[in-house]
Amino acid sequence: MDMDIHGYRIPRNHYVASSPIPSHMDPAIWSTDQNADYSPSSSRSEPEEEFTAGPASHAGAWMPFGGGYHACPGRRFAKVIAMLSTMMLVIGYDVEVLADVKQLQVSMRNFGFGVSRPAERVKARIKRRGDGILVGDNLLKC
């Protein structure tokens, strides 16, 4: 069955997505200079100063997994898997991008549906370091 929400008709069997970008670029929460080019250190007056422009300093301003009743049920699992995968890559491999990083363009094709991708293929060299990662008494093979 079709739905009407605030004057917008949503046909049956169609997906609806909302972008987190407007809330993540809201000048009432984030300063204008932070909106132009994201930089983790943009809110610091001194490089050594503790970084505070984030979820803890702006409750509810950063919602990559949605919120409330419709929050992603796998958000904690996804976060753990993303962190573990990144950890294993960083510790276990040397990664070298074989392109001029400043010339890379981001594809907007999948905007709002996960991680952004480069507009074109990017060559990279990935080389394993050693035998694996030692975690406690266990050697994890990479």
Which residues fall in the annotated binding site for heme?
72
Q: Note the Cα 64 to chain centre separation in Å.
A: 8
Residue entry with tokens 């917008």: 8
Buried b / exposed e across 45-80, counting CB within 10 Å, b at 16+?
eeeeeeeebeeeebeebbeeeeeeeeeeeeeeeeee
